[in-house]
Amino acid sequence: MTHKSIVIFGAGRIGRGFVADLFHAAGYHLIFVDQATGLIAGLTAAGRYTVVRAVSADERHDQVIAGYQAFTTDQADEVAAAVAAADLLAVAVFPQDFPAVARHLIPGLERRRSLRPEAALDILLCTNLTHAATQFRARLDEALPPELAAYAAGRIGIVETLVMRMAVDPPAEVRQREPLLVWTNGFDELPVDRHGFKGAIPPVAGLRPVDDMRAEELRKLYTYNTCHAALAYLGALAGHTRPVECLADPRVRAEVEGVLDEVSRALQAACGFPAGDMAIWIERVLRQTDNPTLGDTVARHGADPRRKLKRADRLVGPALLARQHGIRPTHLARAIAAAFLYRNPDDPGAVYVQERVAAVGLPAAVRELCELTAAEEDLVEMIVAAYDATITCGPSARIASTSAGGAPRSVTR
């Protein structure tokens, strides 16, 4: 039996813990390519590794991945042969590594044009980057020799995806026993931009072709990322250190559910997502966040509030979207206020936010850090009012005891 093959550039957690898992289940032969010689040597010597799909504390599925090949980027001839023969490619690397991947592709594309000039080759970009296709296409065009330009434009598809499977450090004893094991939350769906394909979309379980990747990216940012940030900042005020503790606190959970309700209605209005679809989506967001096996912390979810308070990011962005569609972002304003109250002396972003509040006062800091205009002063006023109410009375979430200055005490993490 002849198997289709996929070449996966990047044998890290997402490459071997998600992409490989999906395509191995669909019967594809896997070929890993990575610059990390130690990792490739380990994969080759072991001949197998395990993907843990820890859906919840009570549901776990282990999948053994075997029968693959693994090459370093220095094995240029083997990599070129694999690219020339492949049915599909995936790129699971950081965006800064796009130029290197593009360069390593060229010998294989040259062989492919010679041997299979009519065969399309689609490249799935499995990286956390908006407009990834534009950036990767630019890096590929820079690397292509002139004689390959027309071929690549006509036969090479660049397909954006949206990776929502989480891969985290396994428990220490598991990592010692099986260092190649990848511990994930088992998310089984990979949205792909149907418009990026040059060939047929592979009939692989878990691939979900979408028409509007920007809407899908917005939904992911404004639900998963917004939920995690709101949990972190509201939960920190209540003295919690883990997201699962935050969700177990009825007052914190109710506040975050309010955030997600505002977000859901805003996304329905802006992007046309059906109400029933959004209800299922939000339920899944909460279920997957409430997963103690992932070992997530408030400190990680809340890291760098300076960045997360920016206008287009996960808190202010959905608040503005809600406001734009006539939805009063009451819960979102409280989550933003909680971000301004977040204290972590080991987090430079959190320290910076506190310094700006102390230097210019809260209203000016809100305008500056959230990048709000004079036309959005009503949102500034909502955030300031929520901040003041938190200090005076406490939000819906339980508030930690206050220190001598009236500010919530810092939670040690």
What is the rounded CA–CA span in Å between residue 412 and residue 396? Answer: 22
Task: For the beta carbon of residue 53, count every other beta carbon within 10 angstroms.
Answer: 19
What is the rounded CA–CA span in Å between residue 228 and residue 223? Answer: 8
What is the rounded CA–CA span in Å between residue 121 and residue 127? Answer: 19
Answer yes or no: are the C-beta atoms of 6 and 29 closer than 8 Å.
yes
Answer yes or no: are the C-beta atoms of 48 and 66 closer than 8 Å.
yes
Residue-level pLDDT at 394: 55
What is the rounded CA–CA span in Å between residue 228 and residue 245? Answer: 13
Nearest by Cα to 285 from 336, 206, 219, 212: 219
Q: What mean pLDDT do residues 325-333 have? A: 98
* Count of CA atoms in the C-beta half-sphere (13 A) of 213: 21
* Count of CA atoms in the C-beta half-sphere (13 A) of 282: 22
Lowest mean pLDDT among 49-53, 130-134, 159-163, 396-400: 396-400
What is the rounded CA–CA span in Å between residue 7 and residue 87? Answer: 8
Q: Which residue has the tokens 């995806």?
A: 161
Residue-level pLDDT at 411: 29
The percentage of residues in the chain with a pLDDT greater than 90, rounded to a whole number, is 88
| Whether residue 45 has pLDDT greater than 90 | yes
What CATH number labels 215-392?
Answer: 1.10.1040.10
Beta strands, E only, 164-240: 167-168, 182-184, 190-193, 207-210
Cα angle, residue 171 at apex, residues 166 and 173 outer, rounded to 5°: 150
| Whether residue 369 has pLDDT greater than 80 | yes
Task: Give the SS3 label for residue 365.
Answer: helix
Residue-level pLDDT at 406: 34
Residue-level pLDDT at 56: 86
Burial (CB < 10 A; 0-12, 13-18, 19+), residue 59, is exposed
pLDDT in tens, 277-304: 999 999 999 999 999 988 889 999 999 9
Q: What's phi and psi for 341, nearest 5 deg?
A: -95, -5
| Whether residue 365 has pLDDT greater than 50 | yes
Residue-level pLDDT at 2: 56
| Whether residue 1 has pLDDT greater than 70 | no
Residue-level pLDDT at 328: 98
Q: Whole-number mean pLDDT of the chain?
A: 93
Residue-level pLDDT at 171: 85
pLDDT in tens, 75-131: 999 999 999 999 999 999 999 999 999 999 999 999 999 999 999 999 999 998 889
| Whether residue 402 has pLDDT greater than 70 | no
Answer yes or no: are the C-beta atoms of 261 and 331 closer than 8 Å.
yes
Residue-level pLDDT at 353: 98
Residue-level pLDDT at 404: 29
**pLDDT band for position 397 (cuts 50, 70, 90):** very low
Residue-level pLDDT at 16: 96
Domain spans of the chain?
Answer: 5-211, 215-392
Q: Which CATH superfamily is domain 5-211 in?
A: NAD(P)-binding Rossmann-like Domain (3.40.50.720)
The amino acid sitting at 110 is E
Q: What is the pTM of this model?
A: 0.88
Enter the DSSP assignment of 345.
T
Where is pLDDT greater, at 318 or 404?
318
What is the rounded CA–CA span in Å between residue 22 and residue 400? Answer: 44
Q: What mean pLDDT do residues 194-218 have? A: 96
